[in-house]
Amino acid sequence: MTLFLDRDGVVNVRTPNDYVKTPDAWIPTAGLDEALRILSAHFQRIVVVTNQAGIGKGLMNEADLAAVHAKMFRVATAAGGRIDRAYHCPHRSDAGCSCRKPATGMAWLAMIDFPEIDFSQAWMVGDSASDMLFGQKLGMRTVLIAGKTEEAVALAALSVDFRFASLLDFARFFNAC
pLDDT of res. 17 = 84
* Global pTM value: 0.95
Question: For position 63, which CATH number holds?
Answer: 3.40.50.1000
The total of structural domains in the chain comes to: 1
Residue 170 lies in a domain: no
pLDDT attached to residue 85:
98
| pLDDT for residue 132 | 96
- Say what the pLDDT of residue 177 is: 87
pLDDT given at position 110: 98
Beta-bridge partners for 126: 144
CB-CB contact of 120 with 88 (8 Å): no
Residue 171, domain member (yes or no): no
SS3 88: strand
Asked whether residue 29 is domain-assigned, the answer is yes
| pLDDT for the residue numbered 148 | 76
The answer to whether the CB of 88 falls within 8 A of the CB of 108 is no
For every one of its 177 residues, what pLDDT tens digit does the chain have, with 9 covering 90 and above? Answer: 999 999 999 999 998 889 999 999 999 999 999 999 999 999 999 999 999 999 999 999 999 999 999 999 999 999 999 999 999 999 998 999 999 999 999 999 999 999 999 999 999 999 999 999 999 999 999 999 998 776 777 777 889 999 999 999 999 999 998
Mind telling me the catalytic residues? 6, 8
Sign of CA dihedral 152, 154, 156, 158: negative
* Structural domain includes residue 165: no
Q: How many residues make up the chain in this entry?
A: 177
Output the 3-class SS for 31-58. CHHHHHHHHHHHCCEEEEEEECHHHHCC
Range of the domain at 137: 2-151
pLDDT at 137: 97
